[in-house]
Structure 1
Amino acid sequence: MAKLPTRTLATLASVMVVTSALTGCATIATSDQVSSCEPTQKYAVERQGTGTGPVITDNGIATFTLQVVDDKGEVIVPQGPVYVGSDMQPAPGPVKALNDNGYGFITDIMRCAQAGQTVTGKVPVAEFVASQAQLPNNSAEGDVTITVEIDKVYHSSASGRVQPPQSGIPAVVTAPNGEPGVTMPDGPAPTERKSATTIAGFGSTVERGQVVTLQVTALSWQTGRVVTSTWQMSGPAMQVPVGPDDQLYGITEDLVGERVGSQRVIIVPGEAIHANPMGFERVIKPDDAAVFVVDVLGAE
């Protein structure tokens, strides 16, 4: 596949100016903008408890359980997790997936809630039924009451101080929701493993043996195309142990000593990809390299 055309000098100069201007500035994830978060006005919502930490936003990640009851007190959906991990325990998952599957009213009810809070909202039955949910009495009148218990809210994306660009490391620019866009340097793919911090987080330090919650985008150095991205997935968030057995070519080893909220760019040469087949060897050739952009959302 052909490599993308080289940028013009004028475009390159403008990128360098923007990058220089951003270096040292803080980038704050939407989940961390607690004071400016605006709860929904569409539904009647009550919030109980003193919350702490980040807030739930449309592009956030959280662990929560919910229950749905009709206006007669009959339980339609029993209290339980929306996302379940391999151990069948509640797992963190993207709020965005609720919107994508017709349950945006749950996102609206949870908006701006924090860990430790219980949120209750009333939704018209007709709207709930339109989401393909089932009611025992098939009634389209009245309201259903949705109660959500928020266990944990994660950073929605990297949140910290923008670091100076480093030679030979792809440039990363994030969209408003935190999803990264990547520009590869000119030249052949690296033959040695490289990594650099592009955003230095303000949270706790990542230690070997912990389980980290991540957003990961993997790209081909040669084509610049995305190989896979958790930003586009609708299942539970990516959680992996920190160490060489992370099933991600050991990229979590490069996170040790970093702080939660950080973003790291990690380059794994194609030869290393083929020496340890995990699926990427189908699209990353031996003379190519995989570029991982990793946002550290949590470490436990």
Structure 2
Amino acid sequence: MRSRLAVIAGLGCVAAALAGCTATGQMALGSGPSVQALTVSTDTTTESTVSFPTPLLPSRAQCREIVAGTGPRVQPGDVVEVAVSLYLGATGEKLVSVGYDSSKPAKYVPVSASAADVVSAGLRCGSRGSRLAVAIPHSASIANVTALGLIDSQKTRLTDPQQLGLGSGEGFVQVMDIKRVFPGKATGAPQITRDGFPAVALAPNGTPGITIPKKPTPTKMELEILKAGAGPVIGEKSTVLVHIASANWSTGAANSTWQSGAPQPVSLAQEDPSLVKLLSGVKVGSQVGVILPTPASEGQAADASFLVIDILGIL
């Protein structure tokens, strides 16, 4: 049974989400006449309803907190679980809504410090529990909708805002409900690992670099705690939010969710029971290294991968 954790890291299957606010912690978006003209519903457990004078012609991106959240403001480096509804500024039509039922799950958006990105700049206006309304100008429309993957695969290839039905100067209205906020990397205390185990060096944002030792390909699954977290304990049936980096033992070829943009939810109930047994009891905030052997098959020799897994939260 091939681990889904290895598949996620190997495919790099997460669409990168754009981000944007100042590195000093100040919000990159302020209010303005376009966002103040919106009338937005306040029940954050259901899809938003929005009305506004049309066509909406925002000259710049603007943000307004409709429902106040609790806790600290979203910061660069956080990962936000967000439900989103997108409206066409020309007519007020709702184009798409995700995050309010299991058929269209919420998005997990890494927040960066880029001041050019409407998605993160908008998220920086709020905290857990906030409902945010963002007026998005014509010039930023395509980048915004493709960043969150809100438009279908055919339309994500569009480069001209007019192909989305936008006239000159028109834009979008985006309503975002911040469900939860997670750290963007493992926050636990670094641990000393045993000799002969792959070495892991971390970039400032938490991205792992992996060095495979010059040793025979391992045949036994092993786990090592690289950072010891202090959060809740993972159970055998937990669904966890993780960042994953992998390196092939034979070739050193590396892949990761860090490169592709966002962490992924993983249900341990669907994983290899041997791996689940190793992960059960590990605490949120931990970073673990896992040696994952691949048995020999017809035409292919036995091999192994080394995974670095940052456990960001339990969903």
**TM-score, scaled to structure 1:** 0.67
In the alignment, which residue of structure 1 is the partner of 2:83?
64
How far apart are 1:193 and its partner, in Å?
A: 2.0
TM-aligned CA distance change 1:75 to 1:57, over 3 Å:
farther
Tell me whether 1:162 sits opposite 2:190 in the alignment. Answer: yes
Counterpart residue identity of residue 55, structure 1: V
Tell me whether 1:240 sits opposite 2:263 in the alignment. Answer: no
In the alignment, which residue of structure 2 is the partner of 1:257?
281
Partner SS state of residue 122, structure 2:
helix
Counterpart residue identity of residue 80, structure 1: S
Partner SS state of residue 75, structure 1:
coil
In the alignment, which residue of structure 1 is the partner of 2:147?
none
Alpha-carbon distance between aligned partners in 2 of 1:59 and 1:152, rounded to the nearest angstrom: 10
Tell me whether 1:218 sits opposite 2:246 in the alignment. Answer: yes
Counterpart residue identity of residue 190, structure 1: P
Alignment counterpart, residue 306 of structure 2, candidates 277, 285, 291: 291
Tell me whether 1:178 sits opposite 2:206 in the alignment. Answer: yes
Identity of aligned residues (%): 22
Counterpart residue identity of residue 125, structure 1: H
How far apart are 1:240 and its partner, in Å?
A: 2.4
In the alignment, which residue of structure 2 is the partner of 1:80?
97
Tell me whether 1:115 sits opposite 2:131 in the alignment. Answer: no
Partner SS state of residue 38, structure 1:
coil
Unaligned runs of 5+ in 1: 1-34
In the alignment, which residue of structure 2 is the partner of 1:187?
215
Map 1:95-174 to 2 at 5 A. Answer: 95=110, 104-111=117-124, 113-128=126-141, 132-133=160-161, 138-141=166-169, 144-174=172-202
Tell me whether 1:44 sits opposite 2:44 in the alignment. Answer: no
How far apart are 1:78 and its partner, in Å?
A: 4.3
Does the 8 A contact of 1:56 with 1:153 survive in 2?
no
How far apart are 1:76 and its partner, in Å?
A: 4.2
Partner SS state of residue 136, structure 2:
strand
How far apart are 1:292 and its partner, in Å?
A: 1.1
Does the 8 A contact of 2:82 with 2:176 survive in 1?
no
Size of the alignment, in residue pairs? 245
Does the 8 A contact of 1:206 with 1:258 survive in 2?
yes
Alpha-carbon distance between aligned partners in 2 of 1:104 and 1:238, rounded to the nearest angstrom: 22
In the alignment, which residue of structure 1 is the partner of 2:7?
none
Tell me whether 1:89 sits opposite 2:104 in the alignment. Answer: yes
Counterpart residue identity of residue 114, structure 1: S
TM-aligned CA distance change 1:112 to 1:296, over 3 Å:
farther
Ranges of 4+ aligned residues in structure 1 off by more than 6 Å: none
Tell me whether 1:203 sits opposite 2:231 in the alignment. Answer: yes
How far apart are 1:202 and its partner, in Å?
A: 2.6
Partner SS state of residue 152, structure 1:
strand
How far apart are 1:129 and its partner, in Å?
A: 5.8
In the alignment, which residue of structure 1 is the partner of 2:294?
270
Counterpart residue identity of residue 162, structure 1: P
Counterpart residue identity of residue 238, structure 1: Q
Q: Per-residue CA shift, 1:230-257, capped at 9, x if unaligned? A: 33446x85322224x416x753432211
In the alignment, which residue of structure 2 is the partner of 1:31?
none
Q: Per-residue CA shift, 1:40-79, capped at 9, x if unaligned? A: 1474322231234783646735232133352x7x324446
Does the 8 A contact of 2:138 with 2:166 survive in 1?
no
